Structure 1
Amino acid sequence: MKKRWLSALVVLAVAGVGSVGSTALGEGEIRVFLGGERVATNLPASSAEPLEEVINSMGGFVDYDEHTGKLEIIKPNVNILVLEGIQQTRNKTIVFSNPVKGYSDKDVPRTFNVFVEVDEAPVAKDLRMRVELIAPDGKTVDRGKEWKYSTQNANSFYFSEPFVSTKLDKYGTYKVQVLMKYDHAKDYIVVGENTFTVGR
């Protein structure tokens, strides 16, 4: 995963979003960190916004301090399972049954569960998440409830979202996307995705 992020930063530098020696006279520089490790330096401060857009599109967040020039990339690790059943026993053990790979016929109401495990979530007082089911044509079929967390003390958690009698009326690949935003951000960012197919 880290290699993918580093590759994206190299592409940005080559494309001119920022490169060594390209800072304008008097313009500050950005130092980019991922997981506490410096991955890029000498990017012009004006590249902070385009860099944030690219990082958001890859499922990450940016914590940028204009005064110090430090831009920290925060990439939550998200694991998504699409299953026919999820149960929790008395001793808190979670039991998964029948992973969903796909369905042969459309227009049949389907019931399934989405299990989401999140590690390395951004530290926030108000972290919000939701699960969306996207049809092959890109339209939203169904949307789960909005989950709210405080990750100030712990940034790993899990939840499950049921989709009950969901009508899948198109053949093709459906996407199960996990979206996240925190604190005062207005837009959700897709931080994870899984897929299944309808049809042969």
Structure 2
Amino acid sequence: GNGFVHTANHGTPDRRWSKILGEYLSRFGIVVPESPAVLDIGCGNNATWNYLALISYLSERALGFPQYVGVDMYEEAFSKAREGLEGLAIFIACDARELSRHVEGPFHLILCQHPPLTTSKEGPRIWQAVFEEAARVLDPEGCFVLTSFWVNDHIPAQVAVQKAGLEILYSGKNAYPGKIFDKGSDGEDLQYDKYILLARKPRS
């Protein structure tokens, strides 16, 4: 069949994310240190792909292994990933609005894929609280990377990230999106990692 059409042309999720990090971090002068601490918010079982992406990104630059921490609301969300990455990654089930009670930081890289800002009225407020916690544990030289699969989530996410006190370096279409998996109520194609946002702590 036309299998390759579905994966767009950027390969498996780990290959795409390795490219995303390579492209955007260097474009905005983000320097990733050796063995960086990485926090993946709402990681789910996608954690496996993200971990592999980090391994590939870091090994290309001789930066060792990530100190990877994945968080999600429930143990079940990441049980497969935790099994596969045993001894390599740390997983914590917690409400991300209380992140700083569960993780130390500082993190050089914080990832947040497809936060559902518009599934409930409370969405923007809940996620702003999460982003405030992310800002708290982000390294002063670190980078916060968020992706959305449609503009309806991306615009409120951008607003919430700014309200959380982070400075936006870039927000727009991602050069390496995944496959289109549905159509939104307004006819927009829903696509994995369609939009991307990079933010950091403001320089004082």
> If the TM-score is normalised by the length of the shorter chain, which range does it land in?
under 0.3
TM-score scaled by length of structure 1: 0.23
TM-score scaled by length of structure 2: 0.22
